[in-house]
Amino acid sequence: MERSKVILFIGMLILLGLLGACDTLDEKDRKRTETMDRFEAIVRWNQFDSMVDFMHPDWLEENPVTSLEVERLHQFRVSQYSARQVLSDADGGVDRLVQLRLYNKHTAREKVVEYVESWRWDDERGRWMLHSGLPDLTGRF
């Protein structure tokens, strides 16, 4: 009888541990959704300077964003932001293929740009961070 109580107790501890892990995953998923929604809103509202704030500092150190790249974006107004495809990788990261429709303020023409946003969870900072750059408006990839 005593042994069955110990087994039941251990089983309950394991179950509680699993439930705790599920809560952590749900929290990461919620933060991912919130982060991506905030990023999308920043892009839609043409706050291009703020896009850099979502980029991981280590990634930025290796791939600095120049003021020219940001200024190039300021020539446009975003008319549509559309996540075309979302892929999860084996490491838990998320890559989103995004299509932007941009209206050039100077030429009154629309430009369509597709680019990939690579999002990764940063345990140290406790948030999702971007590991990819600004959309390339020059047409080079």
Contacts of 98 (CB under 8 A, 6+ apart): 81, 82, 83, 84, 114, 115, 116, 117, 135
CATH architecture of the region 2-130: Roll (3.10)
- Say yes or no to pLDDT of 20 above 90: no
Higher pLDDT, 12 or 51: 51
CA dist 47 and 43 (Å) reads 6
24-65: per-residue pLDDT in tens? 568 999 999 999 999 999 999 999 999 999 999 999 999 999
CA dist 77 and 43 (Å) reads 9
CA dist 72 and 87 (Å) reads 28
Q: Model pTM? A: 0.78
95-132: per-residue pLDDT in tens? 999 999 999 999 999 999 999 999 999 999 999 999 99
The per-residue pLDDT for 5 is: 66
